[in-house]
């Protein structure tokens, strides 16, 4: 690991000042992604700004929404009573991620900002436009089993690896950001971006901006929810595909629905057309099958990952059935 | 006699040939990996000139005031500076759990955090689990149930297992398997590890 200088400011203002003054500085929260990348030589910040002394751990109910601080630990959020009561889908998604030890270190802010697990990104001797713009995408014609089937470009086919983010996008969360230009709020849906011609940019955060927390609006999705994660082993592995499904069923009719997928795109992939196909319909297998077909329209795989298309369809069907069956 | 000399010469020159050709192959195949290694060596030298920071840590009840480079991980500090080698380095990338320790009572991977980030925290390693000569109930259960073979993953497994019970995630075998998934055992001692944890959990002793 390269050397760096280390700072631990105690106010958010000092933290963003420290970052904006230095082009090669990075925040560090749990460290579980950044330290990994620094050991691999993928990232080499000259200055680390440790934000763990900032008062951003709180989880609190406000009128109309639930506020979760950026430094709240993944384990604490997943077990929190307010979270399991108002947004059980988020708890399920968090518990599906990493391991108990890592969830005790990983923060909400760090989780949404973790980088892709694409092998080419992770290995500095291989080409990768995300790590080194202009060097080419090794995955396009290489080992692309873990890669995107939606929204990719010929510059990058990497996927965002977070489970938490899939639930956040399904629940219409917003990201609260503070930076040199003041405060702003970014809808979770617009927080991550598609690779296009600039895959080096994962998200819409600007230099020096600090994620302060997220807010999740109150909603009806407190019972019929499920997070299904398909992976190479039963636990402690990244998703091949994952599905966040939330239904609001009244009688036999679906009043409202949310559906999003992980492991398939450069950003958490919300399935708005499939949601429309669910709303107002009876909660039956037939309806779910139609929604799954619609969801996978436009999916396009590569040499080693085309299996994700049928797998995605089956996972959506399974997730919706499991969500609907919850009592 | 003559033959023997020849033999030696041939062996020596063949060894040299392999050395040289594998070096050439390394350069030809992975040029930037070699460059990386060279840069890292350069880094190591500069390291000593770079400022160290002071850190106070409580490890197994003993307070330490240390002066360290910010890039030292908690794992490397424990093993290389405090000589607490019970905590193991398996992967060094958060993927195996061999380095599991408790920080303020919670289990974490010590390879994925910097020691400076743990300033003022209470660290417990496998060396801090027993009370004098009296083993912790989880250590006893691992022995009784043969919860290991080579033993390399064992300190991490035991630290994780204690936390698993404390967190309330050890009610069923399935739950134990899920909440112990962050600890990989290359010897496959999993069934016995689960038995050991189940027994301690059922025994109801405070862990
Ligand atoms: C072996 C392994 C398996 C894993 N499996 C999974 C999995 O199955 N599912 C999953 O979702 N994740 C998984 N993860 C990833 C893990 O969830 C992330 O590493 C973690 O969430 C990152 O959070 P952190 O606080 O440690 O981030 P850090 O490593 O501290 O930071 C990550 C990035 O975010 C930036 N950052 C952090 N906080 C802020 C902030 N408040 N404002 C602005 N920038 C910030 C940092 O500068 C850095 O660039 C796994 C990780 C490992 C090592
Ligand atoms: S050495 Fe830390 S998880 Fe493997
Ligand atoms: S006992 Fe050998 S790795 Fe677990």
The domain that contains B75 carries what CATH number? 3.10.20.30
Ligand 3 centroid to Cα of residue B147, in Å, is 9
Angle between helices B154-166 and B137-144 (to 10 degrees): 120
Question: Taking CB atoms and an 8 Å cutoff, what residues of chain A touch B50?
Answer: 3
Domain segments of chain A: what residues? 5-52, 224-325
pLDDT < 50 positions in chain A: none
Q: B32 pLDDT exceeds 80?
A: no
Q: Nearest 5 degrees, angle CA A299-CA A303-CA A307?
A: 55
Q: Give how many domains chain B has, as a whole number.
A: 3
Q: How far is CA B86 from CA A233, B78, B125, in A?
A: 28, 9, 8
Look at residue B77 in the predicted model and tell me its pLDDT. Answer: 98
Q: Mean pLDDT score of chain B, rounded to an integer?
A: 83
Domain boundary among B128, B144, B165: B128
Q: How confident is the model at residue B92 (pLDDT cuts 50, 70, 90)?
A: very high
Tell whether B109 and B71 lie within a shared domain: yes
Which of A6, A101, A238 is the best substitution to test chain B (most B C-beta atoms within 10 A)? A101
Ligand 3 centroid to Cα of residue B80, in Å, is 22
Look at residue B50 in the predicted model and tell me its pLDDT. Answer: 58
Look at residue B31 in the predicted model and tell me its pLDDT. Answer: 33
Tell whether B34 and B77 lie within a shared domain: no
Pocket lining: B188 vs ligand 3, CB cutoff 6 Å: no
Instruction: Tell me the shortest Cα–Cα distance from B136 to chain A, in angstroms.
Output: 21
Q: B19 pLDDT exceeds 80?
A: no
Q: Which ligand 3 atom sits closest to the C-alpha of B187?
A: 2
Among 3.30.750.24, 3.20.20.70, 3.30.390.50, 3.30.70.20, name the CATH number for the domain at A224-325. Answer: 3.30.390.50
User: What value does the mean pLDDT take over residues B147-168?
Assistant: 98
Look at residue A116 in the predicted model and tell me its pLDDT. Answer: 98
Domain boundary among B97, B128, B159: B128
Domain boundary among B100, B128, B156: B128
Nearest CA in chain B to A49: B117
Q: Which long-range contacts (CB under 8 A, 24 or more apart) does A124-127 make?
A: A124/A40, A124/A41, A124/A42, A124/B32, A124/B33, A124/B36, A125/B30, A125/B31, A125/B32, A125/B33, A125/B36
Q: Which CATH class is domain A5-52?
A: alpha beta
Look at residue B49 in the predicted model and tell me its pLDDT. Answer: 40
Instruction: Tell me the shortest Cα–Cα distance from B109 to chain A, in angstroms.
Output: 6
Question: What DSSP designation does B63 have?
Answer: E
Pocket lining: B151 vs ligand 3, CB cutoff 6 Å: yes
Look at residue A267 in the predicted model and tell me its pLDDT. Answer: 98
Residue B158 belongs to domain spanning: 129-207
pTM: predicted TM-score of the whole model, two decimal places: 0.91
Tell whether B116 and B60 lie within a shared domain: yes
Pocket lining: B186 vs ligand 3, CB cutoff 6 Å: yes
Look at residue B3 in the predicted model and tell me its pLDDT. Answer: 41
Pocket lining: A107 vs ligand 1, CB cutoff 6 Å: yes
Tell whether B103 and B116 lie within a shared domain: yes
Nearest CA in chain B to A127: B32
């Amino acid at each position: 690991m390269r050397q760096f200088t280390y700072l631990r400011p105690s106010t958010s203002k000092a933290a963003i000042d420290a970052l904006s003054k230095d082009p090669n500085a990075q925040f560090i929260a749990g460290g579980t992604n950044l330290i990994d990348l620094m050991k691999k030589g993928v990232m080499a910040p000259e200055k680390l700004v440790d934000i763990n002394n900032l008062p951003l751990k709180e989880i609190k109910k406000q009128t109309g929404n639930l506020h979760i601080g950026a430094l709240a630990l993944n384990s604490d959020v997943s077990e929190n009573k307010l979270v399991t009561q108002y947004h059980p889908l988020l708890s399920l998604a968090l518990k599906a991620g990493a391991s108990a030890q890592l969830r005790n270190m990983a923060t909400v802010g760090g989780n949404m900002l973790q980088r892709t697990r694409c092998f080419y990104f992770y290995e500095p001797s291989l080409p990768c436009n995300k790590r080194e713009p202009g060097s080419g995408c090794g995955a396009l014609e290489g080992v692309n089993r873990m890669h995107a089937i939606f929204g990719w470009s010929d510059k990058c086919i990497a996927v965002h690896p977070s489970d938490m983010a899939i639930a956040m996008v399904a629940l219409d969360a917003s990201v609260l950001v503070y930076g040199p230009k003041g405060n702003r709020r970014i809808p979770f849906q617009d927080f991550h971006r598609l690779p296009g011609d600039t895959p080096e940019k994962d998200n819409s955060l600007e230099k020096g901006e600090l994620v302060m927390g997220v807010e999740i609006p109150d909603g009806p999705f407190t019972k019929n929810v499920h997070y299904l994660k398909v992976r190479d082993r039963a636990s402690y592995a990244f998703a091949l595909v994952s599905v966040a499904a939330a239904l609001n069923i009244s009688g036999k009719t679906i009043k409202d629905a949310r559906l999003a997928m992980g492991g398939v795109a450069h950003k958490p992939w919300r399935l708005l057309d499939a949601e429309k196909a669910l709303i107002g319909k009876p909660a039956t297998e037939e309806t779910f099958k139609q929604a799954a077909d619609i969801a996978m329209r436009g999916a396009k795989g590569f040499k080693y990952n085309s299996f994700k298309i049928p797998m995605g369809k089956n996972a959506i069907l399974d997730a919706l059935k499991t969500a609907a069956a919850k009592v | 006699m003559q033959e023997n000399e020849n033999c030696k010469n041939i062996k020596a020159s063949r060894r040299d040939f392999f050395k040289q050709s594998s070096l050439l192959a390394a350069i030809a195949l992975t040029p930037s990996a070699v460059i990386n290694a060279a840069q890292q060596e350069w880094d190591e030298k500069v390291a000593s000139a770079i400022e160290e920071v002071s850190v106070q840590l409580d490890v197994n009840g003993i307070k330490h005031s240390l002066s360290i480079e910010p890039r030292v991980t908690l794992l490397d500090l424990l093993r290389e500076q405090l000589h607490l080698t019970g905590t193991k380095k398996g992967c060094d990338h958060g993927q195996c759990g061999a380095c599991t320790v408790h920080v303020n009572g919670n289990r974490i991977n010590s390879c994925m955090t910097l020691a400076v980030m743990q300033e003022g925290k209470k660290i417990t390693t496998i060396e801090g689990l027993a009370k004098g000569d009296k083993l912790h109930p989880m250590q006893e259960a691992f022995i009784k149930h043969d919860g290991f073979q080579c033993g390399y993953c064992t300190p991490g497994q035991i630290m994780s297992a204690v936390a698993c019970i404390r967190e309330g995630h050890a009610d069923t075998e399935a739950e134990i398997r899920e909440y112990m998934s962050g600890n990989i055992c290359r010897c496959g001692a999993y069934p016995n590890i689960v038995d050991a944890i189940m027994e301690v959990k059922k025994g109801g002793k405070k862990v």
